[in-house]
Amino acid sequence: MCGIFACHNHPDVEKFKPTALKLAKLVRHRGPDWILCHERLSIVGVDSGAQPLVSDDEDIILAVNGEIYNHRLLRKGLKKPYPFKTHSDCEVIIPLYKEHGLDTPKYLDGMFSWVLYDKKLNRAIAARDPIGITTFYIGWSSKEPGTVYFASELKCLHTVCDKIQSFPPGHVFDSATGQITRYFEPTWWDGSRIPQKPADLKLLRETLEKSVRKRLMAEVPYGVLLSGGLDSSLVASIAQRETLRLKKLAEEQAATVNGNDDEGLVGIGEDNKLRTKTLMPELNSFSIGLPGAPDNEAALEVAKFLGTKHHIITFTIEDGLNALSDVIYHLETYDVTTIRASTPMYLLSRKIKSMGIKMVLSGEGSDEIFGGYLYFHGAPSKEAFHEECVRRVKNLHLADCLRANKSTSAWGLEARVPFLDKEFLEVALNIDPQEKLIQGERIEKYILRKAFDTSDEPDAQPYLPDSILWRQKEQFSDGVGYGWIDALKDAAEKHVTDEMMRNPKPEWGDDIPDTKEAYWYRLMFDEHFPPHCASTVKRWIPKWSKQTDPSGRAISIHKAKYADA
């Protein structure tokens, strides 16, 4: 990941420059490899991708956060040859803009947010990836009516802007008109249009495999986040298969070319050549939890089955409670379920980065696409089920994508999410929701599980053990140890009184916390951010249930449900 801070059309640039540099430093944690109002974490084009990127004629300047997976195809498909200065996957945005203008983001396959400045036209263009995997904000100041600000994180903007919003995913901004318009128009966008296609399990499997392979584009050591749940385990399984395939290919080619000298390994990297043999290590997998946590036990089972080099990280309740304020500072939200899950992920990311890993694959998005949360058991119809899936996918940038991006970026780590690939979404969200309904023998995410069930395929190597492939959904904040959420509730009781609950802050308006835990998080949020920042936050509440707690254990069908559920 990288960090962007940009300002267009400021009335006094020279006077503002020292402030801009200070604000840019607030996102230095996102990418410690470079700074110039853009904090870079080098993943592709490590030695030559310093930003901002500048066009050959120096008329176009670009700051990018993210990864463009189809950059090689885009380079080859340009109408006019372009003198690229770097190997960076992001530089292709410049010649694309020269050829396609505002339509540029339509051609990009990846996760990204970027700001491009066209000197000749005094025009700023900004765009965000279709789902909002990378965090991005836009802001304005009433003191400078013609000025617009952009940043990867809220903390860069709230001192200079009195109006801030999360930059909408799948949209592009044009300073020439001041308009933000949607460029991403998939067939599934209208949730009220109920698809009729039967599930093609083979296509579902192949598309996810393709998505994972695509996200192994890296020139740095990478790993996988492995909770032991279905989603992260599938990603880990596919990544391990691809890693072993590439390693075998590299060894065969090295033996042919260099007489068994493995310095000639061929695999991932520019022009399919690895620059060092360290880029083909065994796959590292990581899990975190309290001692005896369900996720750590399941993750270890998966890791042994797959043969990954697994790292179990344990944390204490005190560790988690001590990190809460820092977590909320980095997350920039007060949503209960996001904070619960982000704290272990934040602690885990610190450990991963300390081991020299810069990029990890993660399993976010699957529960939204397939209706995997346990509250989906209560969906009254397939139509309601599908509409909720689409709504949740559209709001991922305010929840799980935000968590994955900011929890990892806090330590200069990048998280990639294969389930949110455009092509995979097009396949998975166009399946008749009748096949996703949780009923009879069909547990949550049945068709995804079935797509990777090789029990009826002779001589096929299983992707996962049956105990994992058919494991009940466990939300991450529960899976790290059931004592974690219980401890958070107990701590909130000590910090928030009944009197405080009866008299919330007037500036909170109608957004009143409904539990002491939520109230406590809002207080910590307010310590870091002024009231106008609350406009960027959305609190998540499950549907089709009387529960007020977003934990999976609040659902009566959960095997370890709360006693009062």
**290 assigned ligand-binding residue:** no
Within its chain, how far is the Cα of 133 from the centroid? 4
- What would the two tokens of residue 397 be? 């940038």
Pick from 50, 65, 184: which is nearest to 136 by CA?
A: 65
Query: Of 529, 539, 528, 536, which is closest to residue 167 (Cα–Cα)?
Result: 536
Three-state secondary structure call for residue 181 = strand
Instruction: State yes or no: 362 annotated in a binding site.
Output: yes
**Residues 429, 433, 439, 442: what is their CA dihedral angle, to the nearest 10 degrees?**
-40
How would DSSP label each residue in 230-295?
A: HHHHHHHHHHHHHHHHHHHHHHHHHHHHHSS-GGG-BSSSGGGB-SSGGGS-PPEEEEEESTT-HH
Pick the catalytic residue from 2, 7, 37, 156: 2
Active site residue 7: no
Backbone angles phi, psi at 241, to 5 degrees: -60, -45
Q: What share of the chain is helix, strand, coil (3-state, %, to 5)?
A: 45, 15, 40
Confirm whether residue 313 is marked as ligand binding.
no
413 is in an annotated binding site: no
Q: In this structure, are residues 39 and 51 in contact, taking their beta carbons and an 8 Å threshold? A: no
Residue 269 among known ligand-binding residues: no
User: Which ranges of 147-225 does DSSP label H, i.e. alpha helix?
Assistant: 201-214
- How far apart are the C-alpha atoms of 396 and 403, rounded to whole Å? 9
In Å, the largest CA–CA distance within the chain is 77
Could you give phi then psi for residue 444, rounded to 5 degrees? -55, 140
**β-sheet bridge partners, residue 39:** 3
In the annotated binding site, the residues are 89, 225, 288, 362-363
In the annotated binding site for ATP, the residues are 225, 288, 362-363
Positions annotated as catalytic residues are 2
In the annotated binding site for L-glutamine, the residues are 89
